């Protein structure tokens, strides 16, 4: 019974933060959660590249730099493919930080519920 309550607590915590990882149709993984916008002109990203708000790039906590990720806005179904070149987001419940150009392509400003899948 104790294990069941621990499992339930973990499941509740996962649901509350809005992020989850589930198997994708192609055998990879899809991640869901909240996307936010970030952009700072001229600074360096964690990969060493210059940050350019007009490029379709993003920050993710663990995906390798250079990974191409399809991001889908779950509110309107719009998608964009971005390249991971930075680390973050560092806010609980958020799964990706997008440049303003990528957020614009997805049709949101601020925060949005998204699904991520790695493009092969």
Cα 31 to Cα 117: distance, rounded to the nearest angstrom: 7
Residue 91 has φ and ψ, to the nearest 5°, of -115, 130
Residue 84 CB coordination number (10 Å): 24
Matching residue, tokens 């973050």: 88
CATH number of 19-118: 2.40.40.10
Token pair of 38, please?
Answer: 């970030």
Matching residue, tokens 């971005």: 82
* Mean pLDDT for the stretch of residues 13-30: 46
Tell me, yes or no, if the pTM score tops 0.85: no
pLDDT tens track for 82-101: 999 999 999 999 999 999 99
Q: Are 68 and 57 in contact (CB under 8 A)?
A: no
Question: For residue 28, what pLDDT band results from cuts at 50, 70 and 90?
Answer: low
**Helices marked H in 22-94:** none
Residue 72 CB coordination number (10 Å): 20
């Amino acid at each position: 019974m104790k294990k069941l309550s621990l499992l339930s607590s973990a499941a509740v915590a996962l649901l509350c933060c809005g992020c989850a990882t589930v198997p994708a149709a192609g055998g990879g993984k899809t991640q869901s959660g909240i996307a936010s916008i970030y952009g700072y002109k001229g600074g360096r990203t964690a990969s060493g590249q210059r940050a350019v708000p007009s490029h379709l790039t993003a920050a993710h906590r663990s995906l390798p730099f250079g990974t191409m990720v399809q991001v889908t806005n779950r509110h309107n179904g719009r998608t964009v493919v971005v390249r991971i070149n930075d680390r973050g987001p560092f806010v609980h419940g958020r799964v990706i930080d997008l440049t303003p150009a990528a957020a614009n392509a997805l049709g949101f400003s601020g925060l949005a519920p998204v699904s991520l899948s790695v493009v092969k």
